[in-house]
Structure 1
Amino acid sequence: MITKDILPFIPQRAPFVMIDALLYVDNTVARTLFAPKADNVFNEGGFFAEAGLLENIAQTAAAGAGHNALQQNRPAPLGYIAAVKNFEVFFLPAINSELITEIVTTGHVMNMQLITGKIVWNDALVAQCEMRIFIEQNLLM
């Protein structure tokens, strides 16, 4: 499954869209593709900055939750990063690098979605973290 029209799944709009395609989604996993361009707001000297990496992980979670909600004829939920834990960046990828991001939902506590996320480029781990995402609606992935 490759879905390039990701806008129905996420609340973000240009210039803050940090995913290009939804590659896979089920009840606990979502995987996306993103190749940041030179005009990306998180381009710092030709590299995709740490803040962009975090946003990419969060938007991957949003895309998975949005896809699952729409499959159930519900609106895509709105989410906000509530906490980030153990954020590690191993290197900053160059602009135009094709990044694969995967999140795994590890649990839910009330309106909080708990995820782990990782970003890879050419089989090399770029970044990883744990994240808590506050979901405004009661439509958790």
Structure 2
Amino acid sequence: MILLQKPITNIEHLIPQKTPFVMVDSLLGFSETNVVSSLKVLETNILCENKTLSESGLVENMAQTVALHTGYDYFLKGVPAPTGYIGSIKKIEISSLPQLNETIKTEAHILHEFMGVTLVEITVFNTKKEKIASSIMKTVIVN
């Protein structure tokens, strides 16, 4: 994994989601098979309920982290990023939900990629670097 010297915080052009449905706010690391993003849980987040990011928010954060990998990869190649969607979630575990004003870090490792279908293992950590969620997800790129 290559951590970036300085996080990239202007990321909305790298993902297909738009405000208010953006669930990543920084790109922290990138390589051919890995990506690290972060998200500060704010009260204005559309999936923040009762001062916590909801389960749906965590799932969307995981998917958008994968989208951020694709978007940044295409950006480096000078090509517009395609749109994608969650194809399936094979396994998901959520042990706790991030609280208001907490910054989570999400790491995704690409296991396989073939013809626009990507199998990814994703882990979410809280501010204390404790694992709070994980999943194995397939994403699909729409041509």
TM bucket normalised to smaller: over 0.9
TM normalised by structure 1 equals: 0.94
Aligned residues: 137
CA RMSD of aligned residues (A): 0.9
Gaps of 5+ in 1: none
Partner residue of 2:112?
107
Partner residue of 2:91?
86
Whether 1:47 aligns to 2:65 is no
Bigger fraction of residues in strand: 2
Match of 2:27 among 6, 16, 22: 22
Gaps of 5+ in 2: none
Identity %: 31
Structure 1 stretches of 4+ moved >3 Å: none
Give CA-to-partner distance per residue, 1:46-95, whole Å, 9 cap, x none: 11110000100111111111111111111112110010121000011111
TM normalised by structure 2 equals: 0.92
Partner residue of 2:131?
125
Q: Distance in 2 between matches of 1:62 and 1:79?
A: 7
Q: Which amino acid aligns with 2:25?
A: D
Q: Which amino acid aligns with 1:127?
A: A
